């Protein structure tokens, strides 16, 4: 212990350097963790989180009692995670391989620049672009096909719409990571395969894909830890927070955001938040454990 | 992956391939996807310069019947507010990114020093927020009722200032790409800890700082959520909140058919219209799109660096 303190004192310059981040993390991340205890309290605005009386599991009883709301947003959260991860990973890889195989490199780079741009546009702006395509009276889709679909009140269409917006937003960017792996493949492998008479498809199947598998595995496993968190802007902004769409678009994060704006139902919301954080923690530990087994160098801890 | 560091920008060395028929098919599909990504953005440009009547009668179109500068002009109608919001967004983005980069690289440097025993604890302290967090609700209550920071720019800056992943990227870069002999040599020459860091390490971290910095700047520029939660006064509204407010006033008008005509007339100056809305979107997303191509190579590198842990 004494040696430890001496070491710390000796390197007090390091302590000073680490201090600002330590403080920011403490006040911005750690204190709100303690705030999660309000899930077990009968929150009273005037008494604050710590002053409010305990109410044991009452809030969670609401959660169970309100089956439909809670189940619906949990279901949606997980559903979109599965769709986005499956479709997204597949397209990331296809796009990465396609750009990698394309021999007109200059053109490929120019196209890639455009493909990546959408990720830098906030959802607050994206929703106006989406609106231009699907609004009932002025939308391009309805006008082009001469139909009058009411997109903003037809819940069943939104899993598709949100998936398309998500692809638009993130596939170009997501493929960059895979391309960096492809760039690292030894070209002699391809040359040797060519000499052995393997065509393009065979080369992709036997050389390119196997080279990507470690990265794919790691990315998938790491993403498991984030099942409970969603891209809030996508579900809150792009849907214009339309109540008629909640059955297919309400996720936990957007529900909590709504509850804050309406400052209603804090007990229920706190219980939901608590559920989200705890399940998130368990999934994170699980996913990291799996990565540790398969590819220890990529584990987070 | 490890040692094979590649740069997606220059890709594979030329594979001496025939530019056969297959290449053109591939090119066609890539072009289609590029259009899918690019056309919606092009639409923003076109709609911003389309005549208002053309949109309300025939809908949005890539080939408008009539062009007009009215949309852009009416954005200037926001005048002061737009200027203020630009100022707020730029201030938050620049200050947040610079502070974040500085304190995160100091932290990354400190925990990367093998002789520093406290580093283990600090690493764990850094990691926990990634695994477990208090969520939006308790954050909101703590920040507003306990810190009393409602309507303070600090809440636009601090929550996005430090991220575990970014510190890990910076630390990885220090460990993998900056020879520790350099730091040791500096110390032997009599440089103190601070001098070693600021004069030797920090300048060498440039590529990783550029990558992380650009990602941070984008996050700050695009942040609507914290602004919507915490900012109330007009002179602190960032650009994204302007967009959100436009959307809200549309909603208000749509959902209240009983808004009296006089009230609508009174709101005349602020009733958002199609082309002016798109012009606002253009003004908000424009700067990022102009700056991004210059940073493309850095964040491609940064992503690669981040994926290779030390």
Give residue-wise pLDDT tens across range A59-88. 888 888 877 889 999 999 999 999 999 999
Residue B79: its pLDDT value, please?
Answer: 66
Give the residue from chain B lying closest to A2, CA to CA. Answer: B117
Same domain, B208 and B131: yes
Q: Which residues face B67 on adjacent strands?
A: B50
Directed axis angle between helix B80-112 and helix B206-222, to 10°?
A: 140
- CB proximity A121 to B under 8 Å: yes
> How far apart (Å, rounded) are the C-alpha atoms in residues B150 and B230?
5
Please give the torsion angle defined by the CA atoms of residues A124, A128, A130 and A136, in that order, rounded to the nearest 10 degrees. Answer: 140
Residue B129 in this model has a pLDDT that exceeds 80 = yes
Residue B69: its pLDDT value, please?
Answer: 86
The nearest CA of chain B is from the CA of A179 a distance in Å of 6
Answer yes or no: are the C-beta atoms of A127 and B247 closer than 8 Å: yes
CB-facing half-sphere around the CA of B269: CA atoms within 13 A: 5
Give residue-wise pLDDT tens across range B131-184. 888 889 999 999 999 999 999 999 999 999 999 989 988 998 899 888 888 888
Domain boundary among the residues B48, B68, B88 is at B68
- CB proximity B33 to A under 8 Å: yes
The nearest CA of chain A is from the CA of B261 a distance in Å of 22
Q: Dihedral of CA B54/B59/B64/B69: which sign?
A: positive
Test B110 with A15 for CB contact under 8 angstroms.
yes
Question: What's the whole-number mean pLDDT along residues B42-51?
Answer: 93
The owner of tokens 């730091």 is B183
The nearest CA of chain A is from the CA of B173 a distance in Å of 15
Give residue-wise pLDDT tens across range B92-101. 999 999 999 9
- The number of folded domains in chain B is 2
Give residue-wise pLDDT tens across range A137-191. 889 999 999 998 999 999 999 999 999 999 999 999 889 888 888 888 888 888 8
Residue B6: its pLDDT value, please?
Answer: 42
Mean of the per-residue pLDDT values of chain A:
90
Taking the CB of residue B271, how many other CB atoms lie within 10 A of it? 13
Same domain, B54 and B141: no
DSSP state of B67: B
What is the model's pTM?
0.88
Same domain, B131 and B159: yes
Nearest to A258 by CA among A280, A274, A275, A243: A243
Residue B2: its pLDDT value, please?
Answer: 37
Domain ranges (residues) in chain A: 58-298
Same domain, B96 and B215: yes
Answer yes or no: are the C-beta atoms of A174 and A92 closer than 8 Å: yes
> How far apart (Å, rounded) are the C-alpha atoms in residues B121 and A272?
31
Give the residue from chain B lying closest to A35, CA to CA. Answer: B138
- CATH class entry, domain A58-298: mainly alpha
DSSP state of A29: I
Which of A42-51, A112-121, B41-50, B58-67 is predicted with the least confidence, judged by mean pLDDT? A42-51
Sort out which chain B residues have CB atoms less than 8 A from A120's CB and list them.
218, 222, 285, 288-289, 292
Domain that holds residue B30: 21-68
Give residue-wise pLDDT tens across range A232-257. 999 999 999 988 999 999 999 999 99
Domain assignment of residue B3, yes or no: no
Answer yes or no: are the C-beta atoms of A249 and A76 closer than 8 Å: yes
Same domain, B110 and B238: yes
- CB proximity A213 to B under 8 Å: no
Query: How much of chain B, in percent, has pLDDT values that exceed 70?
Result: 82
Of residues B11, B110, B247, nearest to A14 (C-beta): B110
The nearest CA of chain A is from the CA of B148 a distance in Å of 12
Residue A91: its pLDDT value, please?
Answer: 97
Residue B310 in this model has a pLDDT that exceeds 90 = no
Q: For residue B291, what pLDDT band results from cuts at 50, 70 and 90?
A: confident
């Amino acid at each position: 212990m004494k040696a430890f303190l001496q070491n710390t004192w000796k390197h007090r310059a390091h302590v000073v350097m680490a201090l600002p981040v330590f403080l920011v993390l403490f006040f911005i991340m750690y204190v709100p963790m303690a705030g999660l205890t309000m899930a077990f309290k009968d929150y009273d605005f005037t008494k604050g989180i710590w002053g409010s009386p305990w109410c044991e599991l009452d809030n969670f009883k609401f959660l169970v009692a309100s089956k439909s709301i809670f189940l619906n947003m949990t279901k949606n959260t997980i559903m979109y995670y599965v769709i986005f991860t499956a479709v997204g990973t597949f397209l990331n890889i296809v796009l990465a391989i396609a750009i990698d195989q394309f021999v007109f490199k200059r053109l490929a780079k120019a196209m890639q620049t455009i493909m990546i741009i959408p990720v830098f546009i906030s959802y607050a702006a994206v929703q106006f672009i989406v609106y231009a395509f699907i609004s009932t009276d002025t939308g391009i889709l309805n006008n082009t096909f001469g139909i009058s679909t009411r997109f903003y009140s037809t819940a069943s269409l939104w899993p598709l719409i949100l998936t398309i917006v998500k692809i638009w937003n993130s596939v170009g960017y997501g493929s960059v990571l895979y391309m960096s792996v492809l760039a690292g493949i030894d070209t002699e492998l391809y040359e040797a395969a060519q000499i052995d008479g393997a065509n393009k498809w065979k080369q992709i199947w036997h050389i390119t894909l196997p080279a990507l598998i470690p990265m794919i595995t790691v990315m998938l496993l790491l993403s498991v830890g984030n099942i409970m968190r969603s891209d809030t802007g996508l579900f809150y902004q792009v849907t214009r927070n339309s109540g008629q769409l909640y059955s297919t678009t309400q996720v936990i994060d957007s529900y909590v955001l709504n509850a804050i704006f309406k400052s209603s139902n804090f007990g229920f919301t706190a219980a939901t938040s608590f559920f989200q954080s705890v399940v998130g923690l368990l999934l994170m530990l699980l996913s990291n454990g799996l990565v540790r087994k398969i590819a220890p160098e990529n584990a987070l801890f | 992956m490890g040692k094979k560091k590649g740069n997606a920008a220059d890709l594979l060395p030329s594979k001496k391939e025939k530019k056969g028929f297959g290449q053109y098919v591939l090119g066609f599909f890539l072009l289609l996807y590029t259009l899918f990504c690019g056309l919606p953005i092009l639409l923003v440009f076109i709609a911003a310069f389309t005549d208002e009547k053309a949109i309300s009668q025939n809908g949005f179109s890539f080939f408008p019947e009539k062009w007009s500068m009215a949309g852009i002009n009416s954005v200037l109608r926001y005048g002061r507010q737009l200027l203020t919001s630009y100022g707020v967004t730029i201030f938050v983005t620049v200050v947040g990114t610079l502070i974040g980069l500085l304190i995160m690289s100091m932290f990354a440097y400190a925990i990367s020093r093998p002789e520093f025993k406290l580093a283990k604890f600090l690493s764990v302290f850094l990691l926990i927020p990634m695994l477990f967090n208090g969520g939006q609700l308790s954050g909101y209550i703590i920040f507003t009722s306990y810190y009393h920071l409602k309507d303070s720019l600090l809440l636009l800056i601090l929550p996005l200032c430090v991220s575990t992943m970014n510190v890990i990227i910076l630390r990885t870069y220090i460990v993998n790409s900056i020879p520790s002999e350099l730091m040791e040599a500096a110390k032997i020459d009599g440089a103190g800890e601070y001098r070693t860091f600021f004069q030797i390490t920090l300048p060498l971290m440039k590529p990783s700082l550029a990558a992380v910095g650009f990602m941070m700047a984008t996050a700050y520029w695009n942040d609507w959520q914290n602004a919507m939660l915490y900012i109330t006064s007009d002179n602190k509204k960032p650009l994204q909140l302007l967009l959100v407010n436009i959307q809200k006033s549309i909603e208000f008008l749509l959902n209240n058919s009983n808004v009296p005509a006089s009230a609508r007339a009174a709101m005349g100056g602020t009733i958002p219209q199609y082309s002016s809305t798109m012009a606002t979107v253009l003004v908000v997303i424009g700067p990022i799109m102009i700056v991004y191509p210059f940073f493309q190579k850095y964040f491609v590198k940064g992503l690669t660096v981040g994926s290779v842990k030390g």
